[in-house]
Amino acid sequence: MNKTPPSPGRLIAASLGPGDPWLITRAAWRVLESAPCWAWPESRQEGGGYAIAIVQRAGLPLPAHTLPLAFPMTRDILVLARHWQAAAEQVLAVLNRGMDVVFLVEGDASFFATFGHLQRTLQAMDPAIQVEIIPGVPSPLAAAALTRRGLCDGDQSLALVSATVGMARIDRLLTDFETVVLLKVRPVLDPLLDLLQTRNLLDKARFVERAGAPEERVVDNVWSLKGTQVHYLSLMIVHCNDGEAALGDRR
């Protein structure tokens, strides 16, 4: 007599927050404790992976099944696509055995996260796969808390963008928004600092690196970073309308 194949498991994104295990939500903690399998992005730079390090600091034991997935730090879309495909195939094999897979995500799974690429690739292979996303604390909110200043208030406007969009676009944002949060500043740090100097905004900027992790760093004198190497999990908060930067006409 043939056995009925098990129903596929679910892919669950557990957002862990930016690094402090105390910022893991109760919802994420619950699925981590009960999940039969964890998957996470493996990184040579982090000695295993940033996300898995967060749950290790939380003292959560590994489940019976683990699935570290290789995602190289490159902007080559063809290389990344091959790794997303390979990762999706590994995850799908576990799901087809009837096991849920909890994918560990630093920050929030919907916010500049590897999870989105994995989800799209996996659902292209099998549209019937069920996906659940547990939200978490994104890095800009944790960084703002470290600077002890809110990001925006009242009818103020906030722009949140990757610094890799280019200095011309960032220059416009600094005019059009009261607060600008720039992610992925590492590859463009020096030209970004030059722009802030030109706009007389150096003293309105704060640099935050690895918010919530044991190695977290907040730099008030951002010009001191000129010519230095910073971690890839770094951002800049610029409060660009304290009277020095004129806002554009938003009528």
Q: Where are the domains of the chain?
A: 11-134, 139-239
Q: Please calculate the CA angle 137-22-61 and round it to the nearest 5 degrees.
A: 110
The 10s digit of each residue's pLDDT in 7-66 is 889 999 999 999 999 999 999 999 999 999 999 998 665 556 899 999 999 999 999 999
* Contact indicator for 142, 23 with CB cutoff of 8 Å: yes
**66: β partners:** 38
Please check the confidence at residue 244 and state whether its pLDDT lies above 50: no
Class of domain 11-134: alpha beta
Find the helix or strand (DSSP H, E) in which 144 lies.
Answer: helix 139-147
- End-to-end distance of the chain based on CA atoms, in angstroms? 72
| Among 138, 131, 160, 122, residue whose Cα is nearest residue 238 | 160
Q: Please calculate the CA angle 200-201-203 and round it to the nearest 5 degrees.
A: 110
Fold observed for domain 139-239 = 3.30.950
The model carries a pTM of 0.87
In sequence order, which residues have a C-beta less than 8 Å from that of residue 162 and are 6 or more positions away? 112, 182, 183, 184
Express as a percent the part of the chain with pLDDT over 70. Answer: 91
Mean pLDDT of the chain: 90
Number of helices (H), then strands (E), belonging to the chain: the values are 7, 10
What's the token pair of residue 169? 């676009």
Q: Which segment of 27-36, 38-47, 86-95, 196-205 scores lowest on mean pLDDT?
A: 38-47
> What is the model's pLDDT at position 13?
97
